Structure 1
Amino acid sequence: MKAIEFGNGLAANAGESESRVVIFELGFPDPILQRRHVNPRGGFYYTDTEWPDYRTIGELDGRGKYLKEEYLGSMTPGEAVYAEKIREDHLRAEGNSFARWGIDDIREPRRLQRILTQAGLPIVR
């Protein structure tokens, strides 16, 4: 029952869900998922995890979005990396700090703890 109560359909993939479990187990505040931000070039950005009270955004970065054709569409890997850099610059310009982690960091929770602490998140429980 607790797993169902903890579940959230806003997670974009299993890695984001796994991240959220580890974030909870480490004692960090609960993040907001898929928060919308205006893209100054038009449209919107959505963040994987976000803590507005701490002005911190967290993103799970897998290799797939930069290397797999089904995620790249017509972009090259370099174009995908550049687009993500522009996105991050726009989100930082709003006054947010940024934390990025990968699957390996989730599987070694102390690494994720260090990443989130360095981004300014407190342990609250």
Structure 2
Amino acid sequence: MIVSGRHPRRSSADIRRHYCPLPESDVVVIDGMRVTSLERTVYDVVRTVSLEAAVVVFDAALRSVAWDDETRTYDEAAAERFRTAIRERVRAHSGARGIRQARFVTEFADGRAQLAGESIIRLWCYQLGLPAPELQYRVNFADGGYALLDLCWPALRRWLEFDGLFKYTDAELMAGRSVEEVFADQKSRELRVRAATGWDCDRCGFAEARTIADFADFLRGIGMYPFIG
């Protein structure tokens, strides 16, 4: 939210206040409130938060402009237009705080990541020296159906699904199903993918990915780390 002039109150645990010149072109109105535009918000945030959080934010922004939930497709051109806009801001402020991180995240971000957890473990895969996974990799079934795999390594013949608790608690995603039915559908999908590809599926949640060290232990347990190409 934007407030003109300096506010007498300071930042708190729940509210962060930043004071800086803001051109009107960086201001939009949403639900009656003046806020920074998506481009400006992403540019500011990716310079000032942790690397993991920066990737999550940029991935989410790309997803909002390029991912179509109805067709389950990703508009590469739309994503590149947004990336280019942030890239230009980064180039124009080469000495700004956090600009090195912003430069990396601008090139690394991928809006095909559907969840924060997917964004984080993709970053950690990079930091741990694993090959880059393909996101939302499409597997076609003989009956005309298909599945999109969270993170996939076709050359390694394996894929990784990130299981957040929301899958079993979010009413919209559960679509009237019980937790048991969600598990059953999930298992059926996994078996169909395995039948179509012969690839192994590994599942990871926040319990296995609290830290990069935890995630490395998980990868070690499934034989993917350290990676030997």
Q: Could you state the TM-score of these two structures normalised by the residue count of structure 2?
A: 0.50
Q: Please give the alpha-carbon distance, in whole angstroms, between the structure 1 residues aligned to 2:181 and 2:163.
A: 16
CA deviation digits over 1:20-59, x for unaligned, max 9? 1111111111100000112455421100000000001001
Q: Please give the alpha-carbon distance, in whole angstroms, between the structure 2 residues aligned to 1:119 and 1:70.
A: 32
SS at match of 1:82: helix
Alignment-mate amino acid for residue 157 of structure 2: R
Q: Please give the alpha-carbon distance, in whole angstroms, between the structure 1 residues aligned to 2:142 and 2:214.
A: 33
1:18 maps to 120
CA deviation digits over 1:72-108, x for unaligned, max 9? 0121111110000011111222210111111232223
Worse-matched range after superposition: 115-124 or 22-31: 115-124
SS at match of 2:208: helix
Q: Which has the larger radius of gyration?
A: 2
Q: Please give the alpha-carbon distance, in whole angstroms, between the structure 2 residues aligned to 1:116 and 1:41.
A: 33
Cα root mean square deviation, aligned:
2.0
The aligned runs of 1:35-50 (5 Å cut-off) are 35-40=137-142, 42-50=144-152
Give 1:71 deviation, angstroms. 1.1
Alignment-mate amino acid for residue 100 of structure 1: R
Instruction: Specify which of 189, 198, 213 is matched with residue 110 of structure 1.
Output: 213
| Identity between Structure 1 and Structure 2 (%) | 32
Alignment-mate amino acid for residue 123 of structure 2: V
Change in Cα spacing, 1:115 to 1:98, as seen in structure 2 (3 Å) is farther
Segments of structure 1 that go 5 or more residues without pairing to the other structure are none
Q: Which has the higher contact order (CA 8 A, sep 6+)?
A: 1
Change in Cα spacing, 1:7 to 1:54, as seen in structure 2 (3 Å) is same
Q: What is the number of equivalent residue pairs in this alignment? A: 125
2:52 maps to none
Worse-matched range after superposition: 115-124 or 98-107: 115-124
Q: Do residues 84 (structure 1) and 186 (structure 2) align?
A: yes
Give 1:66 deviation, angstroms. 1.8
Segments of structure 2 that go 5 or more residues without pairing to the other structure are 1-102
Q: Could you state the TM-score of these two structures normalised by the residue count of structure 1?
A: 0.87
